[in-house]
Structure 1
Amino acid sequence: MSEEERAKRPYLGLYFMTSGSFFVILYLLCLASMLNRERIHIPAFKIMICLAIFDIPSECINSVATGYMGFYGIYYCDYPRLTFILGAIVFGAWVGCSASSITLALCRISEINQKLNLHWIFHSSFIYLLLFFSFVVASYGMFFTKPPIFRPEYMTWFFDAGIGFDPSYYYNVSQVINNISLTVITLSLYTYLVSSLIRKGNNIESAQFTKTQRQVILQAAIICFFHSIGSLVCVYMQLFYSPKWLIVAAHVCWQCCTGCASVIYLTLNQTIRSSVRKMICPARFQNDNRVSNASDGMLRTNASEVIS
């Protein structure tokens, strides 16, 4: 294929490479903070570490690798094995991310409403079974389903490689089931979480708990928006004709699904934010965190580390 025939996307390519690298760096800093001995025993942090294991490689592929391949107009025929492997990894990581996100939402609910008697699941060895299940479904998505293939003309990953065969042959039923299930379950769990917080907040006269409410509601809104829009549009565009702007928008939502968790951690989780600041800022630039730590202690008391 000549250079003139290649569908290069230099501006989108630069955007995805730059923003993806930014998200990956932030996520690695957050992961280093979560691996702290004092935090790794907290159930929510265990799940967040598992989620990071899926999100970081996914972000490297759906943003950094996508940007590079789009910048140079790289097709499946140029590097078939590499493209196939990257597609298998990114789809497996997405399926594992979906399972981990649902597990994390259940963990938050168990801490907010202990009457549901779910608390024991996340404070016993059973939590490791849930995390193992995330890796099982990720392995299934990676090794036993059809992988998506990068298409530079659309600047995203399609199951149809665009090499002339019947598109129906490439349909991945697992993706449809996973994305629709993720949307329905995520919306249901976070709706319940937000409603529980609102009811609980009405019975507690605490400015700190009101702040916690706002943070969790904001986080829930961000997660639900990107997961729901990204998941449903990705299913739609695999099955039906979609304009290029919608395809790019869906890919940006996918990027945010896996990358914006780091931004949420650094903006809404005081524990991770303070830890990352200590890692990257010289001691003389670090402010006295006594007030912040006191607030964070109250936050943990009221919401049991539901802000992640």
Structure 2
Amino acid sequence: MRFHETSLFGVLKYGGTQNMELYNCSAKTREQWFATGRAQPELGWALLAYGVVIEILYIPSLYVISRPAYRRMPCYKIMCLLGPIDMCAIVTNSIVNGYLLTQGAVFCTIFNIILSLPILYGAYFFWFTPPVLFTSVHDSWFFDPFIFEGRTAEYMNPPHTLNNLLLCALTCCLYTALCGLLAHQFGYSSDERKMSWAQKSIFIQATSICIANLVAALVYVFMQFFPTPQFFILLGHFGWELCHGFPAIVYLTINRSIRREVFRCLGFGAYLDHSKRHTAESRKITSMHAVSTDGVHPRISKNAAEA
């Protein structure tokens, strides 16, 4: 078969997977194909639960980000665009993946469902490249449906490999340049120009996501061509999950603006106002105590200043 005929374009051309040589599952019954899989309920339910939690966390965050006051800022426009993409990816790599692991599914047990998932790669990858398929044998997604032995090379997806390798190369280059710029700007500057905690926090968050992306991209390319230990396959898959799930956690734990608006939407506005007043009073008391320990009462210091 030609390269583009192993994609969903080929499914439409031939009228279904059973008419495609490389994806024909007629050699075994559905029960026999299930017997080749490996059900892992514990891992499956853990991934499924993670996916559900991330989806729940994303909903209020995206609701807040999509408000006009936030959409005026370019960074929130990007976050608003990436959010639905992340949610779709989490459905695949966590919820669907977890369910399929509990069932011990392989391609030939659910081929009508699993062939629709490459839409996550975009229009080109969806129509003109081979689909990525799940197998519980290796707990992850491969281009080879493992129907025939010794024919893995016929299922290869060069655009995917090129995409991931370019992603890795660009990520390394851009982050090397960014680290160099930050070192030049803040490494030898005065205290006034040193990195704030907020800047450090954002840099750490972005670096963590990019490292997860880098690991996932490299592992997913490597395991398509070479025998890979199960640990590294799971590491790559967890990296893929983290790429799309970590932002939802960050929005509600690190980003104060989004967290505050989400709490207000959930009816915790009064609690936030009380907490804010309490924090302000605590800071005022701490400041007064610091002045007092220097041997001068705050009121005396104030009168002296006025004099």
Which runs of structure 2 are paired with 1:126-137 in the superposition (5 Å)? Answer: none
Q: Which ranges of structure 1 fall in alignment gaps of 5 or more residues?
A: 93-137, 293-308
**Equivalent position to 2:140, from 118, 142, 156:** 156
Report the Cα distance in structure 2 between the residues aligned to 1:193 and 1:272, rounded to whole angstroms: 26
**TM-score, normalization: structure 2?**
0.73
> Quick one: structure 1 residues 207 and 279, their matched pair in 2 at CA, closer, same or farther if it must change by over 3 Å?
farther
Residue aligned with 2:115, SS: helix
> Quick one: structure 1 residues 160 and 191, their matched pair in 2 at CA, closer, same or farther if it must change by over 3 Å?
same
Alpha-carbon shift at residue 156 of structure 1 (Å) = 0.7
Please give the per-residue CA displacement for 1:239-263, whole angstroms capped at 9, x wherever unaligned: 1000112111111111111111212
Partner in structure 1 of residue 299 of structure 2: none
Partner in structure 1 of residue 159 of structure 2: 174
Report the Cα distance in structure 1 between the residues aligned to 2:97 and 2:245, rounded to whole angstroms: 14
**Equivalent position to 2:86, from 52, 55, 72:** 55
Partner in structure 2 of residue 128 of structure 1: none
Please give the per-residue CA displacement for 1:85-143, whole angstroms capped at 9, x wherever unaligned: 02x123x1xxxxxxxxxxxxxxxxxxxxxxxxxxxxxxxxxxxxxxxxxxxxx211222
Partner in structure 1 of residue 235 of structure 2: 249
Partner in structure 2 of residue 232 of structure 1: 218
Residue aligned with 1:77, SS: helix
Q: Does 1:33 align with 2:64?
A: yes
Partner in structure 2 of residue 18 of structure 1: 49
Residue aligned with 1:184, SS: helix
Q: Which ranges of structure 2 fall in alignment gaps of 5 or more residues?
A: 1-30, 280-307
Report the Cα distance in structure 1 between the residues aligned to 2:35 and 2:109, rounded to whole angstroms: 15
Alpha-carbon shift at residue 205 of structure 1 (Å) = 4.0
Conserved 8 A contact 1:58-1:89? no
Name the Cα RMSD after superposition.
Answer: 2.5
Alpha-carbon shift at residue 179 of structure 1 (Å) = 0.9
**Equivalent position to 1:64, from 87, 95, 116:** 95
Report the Cα distance in structure 2 between the residues aligned to 1:290 and 1:143, rounded to whole angstroms: 56
- Structure with higher Rg: it is 2
Higher-RCO chain (CA-CA 8 Å, sequence separation at least 6): 1
Partner in structure 2 of residue 106 of structure 1: none
> Quick one: structure 1 residues 71 and 225, their matched pair in 2 at CA, closer, same or farther if it must change by over 3 Å?
same
Q: Does 1:272 align with 2:258?
A: yes
Report the Cα distance in structure 2 between the residues aligned to 1:229 and 1:193, rounded to whole angstroms: 19
- Of stretches 261-270 and 12-21 in structure 1, the one that deviates more from structure 2 is 261-270
Report the Cα distance in structure 2 between the residues aligned to 1:219 and 1:41, rounded to whole angstroms: 23
Report the Cα distance in structure 2 between the residues aligned to 1:146 and 1:5, rounded to whole angstroms: 22
User: Deviation above 6 Å: which 4+ runs of structure 1?
Assistant: none
Residue aligned with 2:71, SS: coil
Residue aligned with 1:286, SS: helix
Amino acid at match of 2:68: R
Report the Cα distance in structure 1 between the residues aligned to 2:223 and 2:148, rounded to whole angstroms: 18
> Quick one: structure 1 residues 146 and 5, their matched pair in 2 at CA, closer, same or farther if it must change by over 3 Å?
closer
Q: Does 1:284 align with 2:270?
A: yes
**TM-score, normalization: structure 1?**
0.73
**Equivalent position to 1:74, from 83, 99, 105:** 105
Conserved 8 A contact 1:226-1:256? yes
> Quick one: structure 1 residues 58 and 150, their matched pair in 2 at CA, closer, same or farther if it must change by over 3 Å?
same
> Quick one: structure 1 residues 35 and 85, their matched pair in 2 at CA, closer, same or farther if it must change by over 3 Å?
same
Conserved 8 A contact 2:36-2:137? no
Partner in structure 2 of residue 217 of structure 1: 203
**Equivalent position to 1:189, from 148, 171, 174:** 174
Conserved 8 A contact 1:194-1:216? no
Residue aligned with 2:108, SS: coil
Report the Cα distance in structure 1 between the residues aligned to 2:36 and 2:141, rounded to whole angstroms: 19
Length, aligned pairs only: 246
Matched-pair identity in %: 28
Conserved 8 A contact 1:194-1:220? no
Conserved 8 A contact 2:209-2:242? no
Report the Cα distance in structure 1 between the residues aligned to 2:123 and 2:184, rounded to whole angstroms: 40
> Quick one: structure 1 residues 277 and 216, their matched pair in 2 at CA, closer, same or farther if it must change by over 3 Å?
same
